Structure 1
Amino acid sequence: MEAGAECPAKGIVAQFGSGMTQAPYIIGIDLGTTNCALASIQVEQGADVPVLDFPIPQLQRPGELVERRLLPSCLYVPGEHELPPGSTSLPWGESPKLIAGEFARWQGSRVPGRLVASAKSWLCHPGVDRSAPILPWGAPAELHKISPVEASAQLLAHLTAAWNFAHPNAPLAEQEVVITVPASFDEVARALTVSAARQAGLEKFTLVEEPQAAFYDFTAHHRRNLADALKDVRLVLVVDVGGGTTDFTLIQVGITPEGPGLRRIAVGDHLMLGGDNMDAALARLVEERLVAGGRKLSATQWTQLVQATRDAKESLLSASGPERHGIALVAEGSRLLGGTLSSELRRDETERLILDGFFPACAPDEAPRRAARVALQELGLPYTQEPAITRHLAAFLRQHAKAGFSALGEMVSTAALPRPDAILLNGGAFNSPKIAERLLEVVSSWWPDAPRIRLLPHYSLEMAVARGAAYYGLARRGLGQRIGGGAAHAFYVGLATEKEETTRHALCLIPRGHEEGQPVDLAAQPFTLTLGRPVQFPLFSTTADRIDRPGDLVEISEEFRALPPIHTLLKDAGGKTASVPVHLRAMLTELGTLELWCVSDATNGRWRLEFELRGAVEKPVTTVTEAMPARSEEAREIVERVYGQHAPPGGQKEAKQLSRTLEGVIGPRETWRLPLLRELWSTLHAGAKRRRRSVDHERVFLQLMGYSLRPGFGYALDDWRCEETFRLFGDGVTFHAAQPVWNEFWIMWRRVAGGLNEAQQLEMWNYLKPHLARSIPPDAPKSLPKLKGVQPQGLEEMVRTAASLEHLPPAEKVELGNWIASRLKNRAATAGPWAWALGRLGAREPIYGSSHKTVEPAQAAEWLSLLLEIGLSSADGTAFAVAQLARLTGDRARDLDESIRARAAEALKAVSAPEPWLRMITEIVIMEAADEARALGDSLPLGLQLR
């Protein structure tokens, strides 16, 4: 955005101000992980208007329409001739390409490869590109896929169309709409939810946290007697266990002349833990009965089983549920009689598994169990490692002891937790009286000398959030009791200081409790930015009980959570490059999203800073400020002398010895840390044109450029550095007859590949592909016409580079991998990078790329079988390639069959492979730092951790 752009705060006021009060309806939408719901209020005089559930038309079976209060949060992608013509028509005359609701859940349990479920959980997943078409997860490449954002938009679009059909004179887009989100949703997940709503045609809406919405439903049922309903209650704990997330919220109840005053004083950190995990736990129990000998179901059968156990859980835990629920799966293979696998779940064992696994008795000082090396995944999602909700709850109360005791009017005690006076439960799991009773029993036990904690009544665990969202809209109009509290999270921007080495600091932007719509101007903290260069700010949030004010500089600790960075390219209207003094201006919008601006009073310029929303890669931004080596300025001058404007006498010899000269000044090359490396990159980049002075100038330039920018991410502005570096790719090499120059050219691109985007990697691959197609396969046709232009050299480094391009589509990786496999089959041509490259291409866990770009398990298994056949000692790097191909992730859409992984483990034992490689195959672990470097094919800068 150019200078002079207006801050959109006025637009927000217009969007949520007086124009909305004319809407005849207030609509609450629960956009849930498992189910969606919609409730409405038709605004009339007074505050006693009822909140009405909206029956949602949806397909139950082909050609069979029903109206249900809940719309299952499922989408089904039908095959071209799978369903009879006209059997998917909806009342509003549409036959959608993606079918939402009850039919999607039913048919998806039969054909799980076409089911999109848990889209809301995918919005929280930073390890994939959430705007890319990745769902259904693990489905074949030829199947039409959609992004998590589009899946959420499709569910909202169905709700919108259903409402519009029932209310043609009051379309949903013209009403006041409130959409619920988990309290623990971070900025990116909130922003993606906003994007989904806008894709569904909604513009006038706001967001409310789900635990607050559940409490609003409670207040709506006690509009006239809220003081009596909350008598002797000063602190309410809301426990919301949804399909994909668990949220905790503390609400303070104060006494005012007008009645109870409500204020949200604390929310929990993000927990991807809920009903989906319970479904998976039940599925594992049933799997043990269905499959003998420790074998596991296929990915397709597993998805089908999870859907079946979800249905069983909801049935068994309902108030009038049966004692038993049958489970049936379509068998794979002809050896199974009847073509099905069948079992059952009992009500008592279902409750027992959930009680002992998710709500176990625990001490008040018991912490969630964390295994730092474990990276648990299920159905592709990175769920919380500790399933015990009660332990997370105890940790939440300890974390917010200061706020809790303050609300109770008591002194903080390090030996105790703040005891809530009442608990409000929300979420389908609490349909089971035994589960609700267990939670209340465990929490009450933390204060053995106090009476049992009071349980506030709920009126519908399925509809409370949608109803409460609608009532929140009424409260915003002054017609109901509103919960205060402002921002649930505090926001900070990382800044550099010059005081101490390895000290991280951040500037407080929005303190916890700050009210929405109130801008914060940090004019007292000016700094200088250069126009024409991208600016990147590390961003952090915390829910901790901190008393920070806007502008306070604080030290970052473990209670801070890193968010994707904010970045922008600052330009003035004339495109000039200059340094300008600026300060930050922040605001928490009424949507609950953060806006951040750079403001220059000197030039009247304003620049909007944008979040990185794609989240395709977890690239940590280092905010550590380190002192540069004592002679770093001398090192910079040495580089400038070699690549400066004026070539010194004997320049080629000086270029040839540049690396050794630098090591003599600033120490061994392996000790150069990130700030120094990036500073060297800047000096080299400034002299890029002078690399053409000689063969040695070009070779050493390429060598140092790649080394100083490796691995292409991990430090502020690396995206920009990689973009600037990639401009050199089209130039190729000047001394193209010298193979050492070509080798360094390809090594540089392999080193920085992690910082290149998909388009850049595709451009590189399209250049490499025709040359590799002629050079790698031993049986490549000799009659292929010769390629025009300069012929690149350095085949082995070209292969390493190509194998490092993790953003390539899987089909391209398979093509390259099969060329390499054909070479490995020729036993005389196995020496070289071939096994390493095959392991990198088929790795089950990417180093920096998105999980949805991994090749299919069947293909990886084929390559693994080849390596096992030729032997782990027959080619360089084969053992480690086997470990990468057979690695266990916990995601059945990516993991290989257990039998071939067992073969791989035995082969590694036979060659005495390192223990961490064996553990990668048999356990779900995070890769050791040394092995990450081995997988990258290069060392990592000191202090950089990829995960």
Structure 2
Amino acid sequence: MLHSSSPLFAGIDFGTTNSTLGLCARGAEPALLPLEGEHRTLPSALFFSLEDHATYFGRAAVHEYVDGAQGRFMRALKSVLGTSLMRERTLVGLERLSFVDLIGRFLAHLKAQLEAQTGAHVDRAVFGRPVRFVDESDEADREAEAQLADAARAQGFRHVEFQFEPVAAALFHETKMARESLALVVDIGGGTSDFSLLRLGPDRAGKPDRREDILASTGVHVGGTDFDKLLNLASMQPLLGLGSETKDGKRRMPVWLFNDLATWHRVNMLYNAKVLRDVNGLRREAAEPEKLEKLHHVIENRSGHRIAGAVEAAKIKLSEESETLIRMQEPGLVLERAVRRDEFEAAVSDLVSRIDGAVQSALDEAGVGAERVETVILTGGGAQVPAVFAAATKRFGSAEIVQSDAFGSVGLGLGVDAARRFG
């Protein structure tokens, strides 16, 4: 159990891929709470077991799924906020749950960890949010924040406030600064990419309201899971029939099926009898039926997330290596494909262009030239991708480039913000 002579305040970074929980006393250094053993990050994943009827979270959820346990695996639930899926219910064991319920289950687990380790009842927290949950609709973006707030309140968080994730990362960096700086924060998360231009410095750190220091905040709905999806579509889905034709050569296999299979938060929607019947029909018509047989295996054995996990691991390796092998093996199925970094970069070039455009939009919104930016703070796992790093930093030749804690800086900054707001 954690102890402090001063009250501790909580900031929660509920992420698309990983989540963290920052704690901070007013005027003190923030810290991340261990959420799974010694790990201070918790994969944003749930597994509902049909064997022991338990719910597993984080790495334990991933282990149960990969180990072949019978149940329902769910990941990247944050990506559903603000979409039409939030109005649907999905079968989990014998229950039909809404996505607000599912997100609430995960938040309840975080709250239980928080209260068990602090020994205190916690009913207020600052939650991180992307600059844009939804790019194309302000109404859907507002609805996404309201849905996350509703999920949190349903689990006992009476007082819920929000802070932009890149601003939170900046607040953490500010605790270590010796002088004032004009900084651009680049936060490439699992589901979104966010950019904030703001004034930081030790003399500003204690201000209760920092709105006048934020010169611009822009964001696009592009993140690590989108990179995973495009690499999956380019490399693994063709092995299952993407791009294949029917025997008569008049049409191709339906693209939507492979798009959903490559999308973390949509994979579970394919695991049903109707899709299996449709795949059987496609197999009879296909010019390459052996590929559709593999697709049938993937749907029947709920192997989609295992493929996505192998793709994600390869994406991470390509940040350090020029070539790697994507391989997924289980009883009855082996899929493998060598992939080069230049192939990956070609597949995701449009995403990188959108990130590049959002950086420029932040500068334009603030009316600031790139030469005035003194510090570029990079956070989020996606910032490790070489093409993304280049797009985010190429304008700022004279600026200090700071590689912040890739997965922890937002949670730490939210803890700082919570102590300032609630302390």
TM-score by length of 2: 0.72
What's 1:473 paired with? 418
Deviations, residues 27-70 of structure 1 (Å, cap 9, x unaligned): 11110011111121134xxx3x221121113xxxxxxxx34211
User: What aligned pairs does 1:758-797 form with structure 2 within 5 A after superposition?
Assistant: none
Amino acid at match of 1:31: F
User: What aligned pairs does 1:223-622 form with structure 2 within 5 A after superposition?
Assistant: 225-227=178-180, 230=181, 233=182, 236-252=183-199, 263-268=213-218, 271-287=220-236, 290-291=239-240, 294=244, 295=291, 297-298=295-296, 299=299, 300-314=302-316, 316=317, 324=324, 327-330=327-330, 339-343=332-336, 349=340, 351-358=341-348, 360=349, 387-394=350-357, 397-398=360-361, 401=364, 403-405=365-367, 407=368, 420-432=373-385, 434-435=386-387, 437-440=389-392, 443-444=394-395, 452-476=397-421
What's 1:786 paired with? none
> What secondary structure is seen at the aligned counterpart in 1 of 2:403?
coil
Structure 1 position 180, deviation (Å) = 0.7
Deviations, residues 547-575 of structure 1 (Å, cap 9, x unaligned): xxxxxxxxxxxxxxxxxxxxxxxxxxxxx
Structure 1 CA distance for aligned equivalents of residues 6 and 100 of structure 2: 27
**8 A contact 2:222–2:355 mirrored in 1:** no
Q: Which runs of 5+ in 1 are unaligned?
A: 1-21, 58-65, 84-95, 137-141, 331-337, 361-386, 409-416, 445-450, 479-947
Amino acid at match of 1:279: D
Amino acid at match of 1:267: S
Structure 1 CA distance for aligned equivalents of residues 155 and 195 of structure 2: 29
Structure 1 CA distance for aligned equivalents of residues 64 and 416 of structure 2: 35
> What secondary structure is seen at the aligned counterpart in 2 of 1:32?
coil
Residues 1:195 and 1:249: Cα distance change in structure 2 (over 3 Å): same
Structure 1 position 255, deviation (Å) = 11
What's 1:177 paired with? 125
Residues 1:289 and 1:134: Cα distance change in structure 2 (over 3 Å): closer
> What secondary structure is seen at the aligned counterpart in 1 of 2:306?
helix
Structure 1 position 101, deviation (Å) = 1.1
Residues 1:472 and 1:355: Cα distance change in structure 2 (over 3 Å): farther
User: What aligned pairs does 1:209-220 form with structure 2 within 5 A after superposition?
Assistant: 209-220=164-175
Deviations, residues 820-857 of structure 1 (Å, cap 9, x unaligned): xxxxxxxxxxxxxxxxxxxxxxxxxxxxxxxxxxxxxx
**8 A contact 2:218–2:361 mirrored in 1:** no
Structure 2 CA distance for aligned equivalents of residues 323 and 200 of structure 1: 45
Structure 1 position 184, deviation (Å) = 1.3
Residues 1:209 and 1:353: Cα distance change in structure 2 (over 3 Å): farther
Residues 1:133 and 1:397: Cα distance change in structure 2 (over 3 Å): same
1:35 aligns with 2:35: no
Structure 2 CA distance for aligned equivalents of residues 251 and 112 of structure 1: 48
**8 A contact 1:28–1:39 mirrored in 2:** yes
**8 A contact 2:179–2:202 mirrored in 1:** no
Q: Which runs of 5+ in 2 are unaligned?
A: 134-140, 245-290
User: What aligned pairs does 1:879-898 form with structure 2 within 5 A after superposition?
Assistant: none
Structure 1 position 99, deviation (Å) = 1.8
The structure in which a higher percent of residues are helix is: 2
**8 A contact 1:77–1:144 mirrored in 2:** no
Residues 1:471 and 1:36: Cα distance change in structure 2 (over 3 Å): same
1:50 aligns with 2:29: yes
What's 2:252 paired with? none
Identity of aligned residues (%): 24
Structure 2 CA distance for aligned equivalents of residues 396 and 437 of structure 1: 12
Q: What is the alpha-carbon root mean square deviation over aligned residues?
A: 3.6
**8 A contact 1:248–1:393 mirrored in 2:** no
Residues 1:470 and 1:106: Cα distance change in structure 2 (over 3 Å): same
Residues 1:399 and 1:219: Cα distance change in structure 2 (over 3 Å): closer
Length, aligned pairs only: 355
Structure 1 position 72, deviation (Å) = 0.9
> What secondary structure is seen at the aligned counterpart in 2 of 1:244?
coil
Among candidates 68, 71, 75, match of residue 42 of structure 2: 71
- Higher Rg: 1
Structure 2 CA distance for aligned equivalents of residues 438 and 257 of structure 1: 30
Residues 1:23 and 1:104: Cα distance change in structure 2 (over 3 Å): same
> What secondary structure is seen at the aligned counterpart in 1 of 2:89?
coil
Amino acid at match of 2:60: F
Deviations, residues 865-887 of structure 1 (Å, cap 9, x unaligned): xxxxxxxxxxxxxxxxxxxxxxx
Amino acid at match of 1:250: L
Among candidates 105, 127, 141, match of residue 154 of structure 1: 105
**8 A contact 2:197–2:216 mirrored in 1:** yes
Greater relative contact order (Cα 8 A, min sep 6): structure 1 or 2? 2
Residues 1:106 and 1:431: Cα distance change in structure 2 (over 3 Å): farther
Residues 1:437 and 1:33: Cα distance change in structure 2 (over 3 Å): closer
Structure 2 CA distance for aligned equivalents of residues 455 and 111 of structure 1: 48
Deviations, residues 83-113 of structure 1 (Å, cap 9, x unaligned): 4xxxxxxxxxxxx743211121233344797
Structure 2 CA distance for aligned equivalents of residues 257 and 399 of structure 1: 21
Amino acid at match of 1:305: I
Structure 1 CA distance for aligned equivalents of residues 106 and 98 of structure 2: 13
Among candidates 73, 91, 99, match of residue 115 of structure 1: 73
